[in-house]
Structures are given as C-alpha cells and as structure tokens.
Amino acid sequence: MASLACAVLTVSDTRTARDDTSGDLLVELLRAAGHCLVHRAIDKDDIYAIRATVSRWIAAPEVQVILTTGGTGFTGRDSTPEALAPLFDKTIDGFGELFRQVSHEEIGSSTIQSRALGGLANATLIFALPGSGNAVRTGWERIIKNQLDINNRPCNFAELFARF
C-alpha cells in the first residue's frame, strides 16, 4: 500500500480541538489505512475561511489528499460545497452520488440533505463529508479508503499520483 499525505479540515462553528470527534475519527481512519496526516485545522462555517485553508493546502506540494468534515448540510451557515466547488479543476460527480446511495441504506431518504462532494484541484484530491461520525465512517470505509488504496481494482485514485 502506498502511503498518501493527507490534510483534514473540520468545518464547524462549535467544535474545538478538544471535541472534534469527526475530525479525530477521520485522522484515526486514514492513519489505520497507512496514510499520514500532514496538516489539520478547524474552520468556522465561512466560505472564505474554508476556501483560504483549502487553497493553501492545494498549493502545498506535500499535500496529496484533503478530507473535510462538516458544513455540507442545508442550514444557513453550511457552506462547504460553495467554498470548495469553485476550487475544483474537475469534479468527482460519482463521489457525492455514491455517498448518498450508500448512506440511504443507513439513514433512508434523509440522505438527500447531504451535499457531500469530491473534486480534483492542482493534482490534489478533495473529499467533503458531512460532520457526523457515522457519515465520516461511511464515506471512508465504503468509498474513500478503497479509492486511496493502490491495490484497489479495477481502478483507484492513488495510481493517478504516479502520473502527476
């Protein structure tokens, strides 16, 4: 397994480093899969704060994958999709579609309220997950983990890094 360098951003108006359970879980899962954490941050639900942090990481040569948690719902301040989508060179349409499909098995039609999304920017993969621990676990275990595994067949995103 090839280890990828990951950055984790939690988007929340209420979480701190002491109680960021979904961010902690995401770090635990990526490390358990053999990847390394190179950056971690918590930003408020603010389009420009999110965009500034992610833009720095997109430009950083040591970051290959950015994982965000939170801010993908429909409340007034949820703004992760609006912050990230303009940064994408390419959108990974299938990520959001598949996330909602597998989430339907767990939460039923409430999955339509998820605006999980993925994209590629400056050869950096970006996946935005909802802020619940269950959503983080589902997104990681059912989709992202395999796509970051060079041995996943018939294809995976990890093999693209050899081409960048």
- The two three-digit tokens of residue 89, written as one number: 């060179």
**What's at 80, amino acid-wise?**
T
Domains of the chain: 5-123+136-162 (3.40.980.10)
The DSSP secondary-structure symbol of 132 reads S
Q: How many beta carbons lie within 10 A of that of residue 21, not counting itself?
A: 14
Q: For residue 148, is pLDDT > 70?
A: yes
Q: Could you identify the residue written with the tokens 């098995």? A: 105
- Please state the length of the chain: 164
Using one digit for the tens of pLDDT, what is the confidence trace for 82-136? 999 999 999 999 999 999 999 999 999 998 999 999 999 999 999 999 999 999 9
Q: For residue 32, is pLDDT > 70?
A: yes
Residue 38 CA to residue 60 CA, distance in Å, equals 10
Helical ranges in 41-147 per DSSP H: 47-59, 80-84, 93-107, 133-139, 145-147
Question: What pLDDT score does 1 carry?
Answer: 56
Using one digit for the tens of pLDDT, what is the confidence trace for 33-88? 999 999 999 999 999 999 999 999 999 999 999 999 999 998 888 999 999 999 99
Residue 123 CA to residue 113 CA, distance in Å, equals 29
- The two three-digit tokens of residue 153, written as one number: 């067949």
Beta strands in the chain (DSSP E): 5-11, 36-43, 65-69, 90-91, 117-121, 124-129
Contact 129, 136 (CB under 8 A): yes
Comparing CA positions, the residue from 55, 33, 22 lying closest to residue 130 is 22
